[in-house]
Homo-oligomer: A and B are copies of this chain.
């Protein structure tokens, strides 16, 4: 293999993919098992040129992709792998750091601590918090619950009925009891009559997955702490918006959190996977994970990042976060957030101006939750037809039993034209 030639071909392939992704169907048009049937059942005995991989990428893989880089990807939470982030992943793979302990990769360890602190500053979070990178919010929240159980000696987790499914899954994996609390008409967790006396952790969400609704973090934090419980804030999606002063209304009380997760791979231009986990109680957090006995601790403990989460081996994820922060600057990131929030407002206005449609939940951040006035079946058919068109991809959720549509704006390539086209496709 000639690295330069094959690399040039791979780079050209990636460049063309990004240039033409808007011409591909957003949602994959394959049936389950269709790709499997086309892939050889057994591995090759002899090696092949890398060009064969690129050929099969075109012929087999691309048709089975749901194109998350497409400007009209509006499902789940839309994301972007930006160019600096992509190239940083090439570099990280080339360096192949395995940061098990500080000396195994001083670069990866110290850059991670530094750039996660850069994000802390950008979001206006308190000084002194310890932050590191996990793969996903599922893992970050898992780590937070482990710390909460360790610190409190209790075994109950409380979250809103609209909290992300990972809270339930994490509690299940840990053998913790989960109590889901009903939400109010603003889709925020109710706090009246909340008994937290036997609770290890309260998980408050800023920007729920279904509706981008916001739990009353300050109230929950005060109640949690009064009862001796840990407060974890899941702001995986919406937390990135705190780079805008005008979005910090949703941050009220977050400074009281014991731990917080925000995912730059969601709305901060970083390719999968990059989930930031901060704690305001690093000493206690670390005690839940470390195998190093007290008497062996040294000044380097802050550098032992494996002591703040489940994995020992850690790849060089900070490189892509660094590249993105450098190449966009705070200014560039703020501009993208403002534009996405403007586009969501614009789409919400189109919905509200049309008597056949309605907003189903308050507009928050860059997520519009809406429905056509009519039956669930009608809305379901509209979504199916729209997604089958290949032109747009939206997902749905249920609110009080009713089928509602979600349009999530979060791809850096999305323009006003794309948003208007989405509205047109839905109205066909």
Chain B residues with Cβ under 8 A from A93's Cβ? 81, 85-86, 89-90, 271-272, 320
Q: Does A193 contact B (CB under 8 A)?
A: no
* Distance, CA A92 to CA B325, complexed state (A): 21
Does B76 contact A98, Cβ atoms closer than 8 Å?
Answer: yes
Task: Provide the bound-state CA to CA distance between A328 and B328, in Å.
Answer: 38
**Is A162 an interface position by the 8 A CB rule?**
no
Q: A12-35 toward B: CB 8 Å interface, digit per residue (1/0)?
A: 111101100000000110101111
Q: Does A111 contact B (CB under 8 A)?
A: yes
Question: Residues of B contacting A350 with CB < 8 Å?
Answer: none
B315:A110 contact, CB within 8 angstroms? no
Docked complex Cα distance between A50 and B93 (Å) = 18
Shortest Cβ distance from A70 into chain B, in angstroms?
10
The complex places the Cα of A165 from the Cα of B291 at a distance, in Å, of: 8
Q: Which residues of B contact A34 (CB under 8 A)?
A: 106
A136 contacts B by Cβ under 8 Å: yes
Q: Is the CB of B98 within 8 A of A14?
A: no
Is A185's CB within 8 Å of the partner chain B? Answer: no
Chain A interface (Cβ < 8 Å from any Cβ of B): 1, 3-4, 6-8, 10-15, 17-18, 27-28, 30, 32-36, 39, 42-50, 52-53, 57, 61-62, 64-66, 68-69, 75-76, 79-81, 83-98, 100, 102-107, 110-111, 113-115, 118-119, 121-122, 135-139, 142, 146, 149, 165-166, 168-170, 172-175, 265, 271-273, 288-289, 291, 299-300, 303, 310-313, 315-316, 319-320, 322-323, 325-332
